Structure 1
Amino acid sequence: MTQQNNSRAGILLMIAATVVFALQDGISRHLAGTYNTYMVVMIRYWFFAAFVIALAARAPGGLRAAAQTSQIGLQVFRGVLLAAEICVAVFAFTVLGLIDTMAVFICYPLLVAALSGPVLGETVGWRRWSAIGVGCAGVLIILQPGVGVFNPWAIVPLISALMFALYGLLTRYAARKDSAATSFFWTGVSGAVAMTLVGMWYWEPMASSDWIWMAVLSVCGVLGHWLLIKCYEMAEASAVQPFAYFHLVWTSILGISIFGESLRPAVVVGAALVVSAGLFTLWRERRQS
């Protein structure tokens, strides 16, 4: 992948990707509220797998080059872990709503920073640990464990964030030997196989109108990943990654306008702390690199 270093185009593509992913979240919540989560994620993965296979087939060397890896166990585990994380996130949408789920989930960059030491052997300085502490305080403000009756479902998006952070770290680890194309190929294929093995036992009839939503969901998944690929072709990751937080903005708009959710003051304050800590962490990474 040849980078063009066009930051403005990269930022616009990242913002477009967050819009598409927010739509994907909203449709996922709608479908998973009516049908089984495993079935919804399984069908979504079929389209995703078809997309990565088509990309690999068009690349130099074809499918054989994309599938070539010396760490097959790691690659398969990564793909299965991401599929499981998506199931957890979609389930969280149905029990907590879009806003509360995303407000907690956006702490995953901080979890990546915290786990990069034990998983990758990277050095985490006191400034990053301070940012991680601020982010944790923000998550606690959102969850409000000491106020009234604590909702145990609030832990679900935190588990999803932890799984996604681990997936990101394993992707970084796999990149030491494999190309991004190989990792992307195994992410789609192994995830689709895993979800088919699980989801086929939960198949249920779907209304004709919902098949349309399912098709839109699948297109959003493919389009979102394509936009990200183009985004990272245009600009450095450190330049565009802060704009990934727009995902929370669009998701909140959908949650309020379509699903009738409310924006609690605790969520606003907590999310602001988490985003600020995340942006500081990204800035430190960019400065050190």
Structure 2
Amino acid sequence: MSDIAVATTRTRAILLMITAILCFTLMDATAKALSPRIGVLPTIWARYAGQMLLVLVLIAPRLHSVVRTDHPGLQFMRSILLMSATAFFFTGISLIPLTEAAALMALNPVLITLGAALFLGEPMGPRRIGGIAVALIGAMIIIRPGSAVFSPAALFPLAAAGCYSAYSLLTRRLGSGEDVWTSLFYTGLVGTVLLTMAVPFAWQTPDAVAWGMIGLITVFGTFGQLALIRAFSLGEASMLAPYSYTGLVFAALWGALFFAELPDFWTVVGALVIAGAGLYVWHRETYRR
């Protein structure tokens, strides 16, 4: 592949990654507004059931080919990890400000970098190890364990970051050999089946506004997943990971616009430490390479 073709492919992967993060932050903001109306579990169920319905409509003409996969085990594991990440994060944003949760979730790029080295054989130099350590310090600045401001609810976004990182690595492991619609189908199918068994115990009937929000979550979640899967099929996990930090900007914007949430000083400091660590690692180990 020529240098121009490689650069074009990387640019497409980066733009798809940013698009995915934009969709996900809009989905998160909508979920934060929806949770008080119908509860956290029905909100998570709506995210997956809506995606499943939309995907079925879009792939109906070729459903028989989309459902075929050469990696059923990986698809199932991906789906469980993403569902877990969604559950942890939606629970977190129902309890703490959106910006704070997003800042903690921003640990996932350095976790992806570590996982890519350990499990995918991607380069892992001392600067990446240092970046991971600094990013963890940034997370501790935000949650400040042992201080009066520490909230156990902050652990939910941290758990979400871990699950999402593992999901991203498995998506990268699948590569471009698997149809993106196949991956999207199984992500929605597993989440919908498992959550449908649980949601009757926490069901609250949505009103008209809530149904509108459910529709938005469906659209944002589905197209975000589609963009993310395509991005990781085109570009290295460690190359794309730093662009997750755009989520900090988007989350701060939606938090201020929709919820009048302004991050405190230490949340900003911690977020900058995490983002700075990840961007430094990317610049030194990926860009210069």
Partner of 1:52 in structure 2?
55
Q: CA–CA distance in 2 between the matches of 1:170 and 1:281?
A: 22
- On the 8 A contact 2:113/2:241 being kept in 1, the answer is no
Matched, 1:213 2:216: no
- On the 8 A contact 1:14/1:228 being kept in 2, the answer is yes
Q: 1:76 to 1:230 in 2, by over 3 A?
A: closer
Aligned length: 284
Q: CA–CA distance in 2 between the matches of 1:106 and 1:202?
A: 30
Partner of 1:74 in structure 2?
74
Q: 1:110 to 1:224 in 2, by over 3 A?
A: same
Secondary structure, counterpart of 1:147 in structure 2: coil
Q: 1:149 to 1:269 in 2, by over 3 A?
A: closer
Q: Structure 1: 5+ residue runs without aligned partners?
A: none
Q: 1:194 to 1:16 in 2, by over 3 A?
A: same
Partner of 2:45 in structure 1?
42
Equivalent residue runs for 1:94-133 within 5 Å: 94-120=94-120, 124-133=124-133
Q: CA–CA distance in 2 between the matches of 1:81 and 1:228?
A: 15
- How far residue 78 of structure 1 moved from its aligned partner, in angstroms, is 1.6
- How far residue 231 of structure 1 moved from its aligned partner, in angstroms, is 6.5
Among 31, 34, 56, the residue aligned to 2:34 = 31
Matched, 1:154 2:157: no
Q: 1:125 to 1:71 in 2, by over 3 A?
A: same
Q: CA–CA distance in 2 between the matches of 1:142 and 1:77?
A: 30
- C-alpha root-mean-square deviation of aligned residues, in Å? 3.2
- How far residue 104 of structure 1 moved from its aligned partner, in angstroms, is 0.4
- On the 8 A contact 1:81/1:163 being kept in 2, the answer is yes
- On the 8 A contact 1:31/1:40 being kept in 2, the answer is yes
Q: CA-to-partner distance for each residue in 1:248-271, whole Å, 9 max, x for gaps?
A: 112112212321223111111111
Equivalent residue runs for 1:7-18 within 5 Å: 14-18=17-21
Matched, 1:204 2:204: yes
Between 224-233 and 213-222, report the one with greater CA deviation. 224-233
Matched, 1:279 2:279: yes
Amino acid at match of 1:5: T
Q: 1:246 to 1:123 in 2, by over 3 A?
A: closer
TM-score by length of 1: 0.83
Between 170-179 and 215-224, report the one with greater CA deviation. 170-179
Secondary structure, counterpart of 2:28 in structure 1: helix
Partner of 1:247 in structure 2?
247
- How far residue 130 of structure 1 moved from its aligned partner, in angstroms, is 0.5
Q: 1:280 to 1:55 in 2, by over 3 A?
A: farther
- How far residue 199 of structure 1 moved from its aligned partner, in angstroms, is 2.0
Partner of 1:88 in structure 2?
88
Amino acid at match of 1:160: A
- How far residue 288 of structure 1 moved from its aligned partner, in angstroms, is 8.3
Q: CA–CA distance in 2 between the matches of 1:114 and 1:232?
A: 16
Q: CA–CA distance in 2 between the matches of 1:126 and 1:229?
A: 29
Identical columns (%): 30
- On the 8 A contact 1:103/1:248 being kept in 2, the answer is yes
Between 145-154 and 204-213, report the one with greater CA deviation. 145-154
- How far residue 142 of structure 1 moved from its aligned partner, in angstroms, is 0.9
- On the 8 A contact 1:80/1:194 being kept in 2, the answer is no
- On the 8 A contact 1:132/1:277 being kept in 2, the answer is yes
Q: CA–CA distance in 2 between the matches of 1:3 and 1:38?
A: 43
Q: CA–CA distance in 2 between the matches of 1:194 and 1:97?
A: 28
- How far residue 287 of structure 1 moved from its aligned partner, in angstroms, is 4.6
Q: 1:267 to 1:191 in 2, by over 3 A?
A: same
- On the 8 A contact 2:180/2:229 being kept in 1, the answer is no
Q: CA–CA distance in 2 between the matches of 1:3 and 1:218?
A: 33
Amino acid at match of 1:250: F
Q: CA–CA distance in 2 between the matches of 1:176 and 1:16?
A: 19
TM-score by length of 2: 0.83
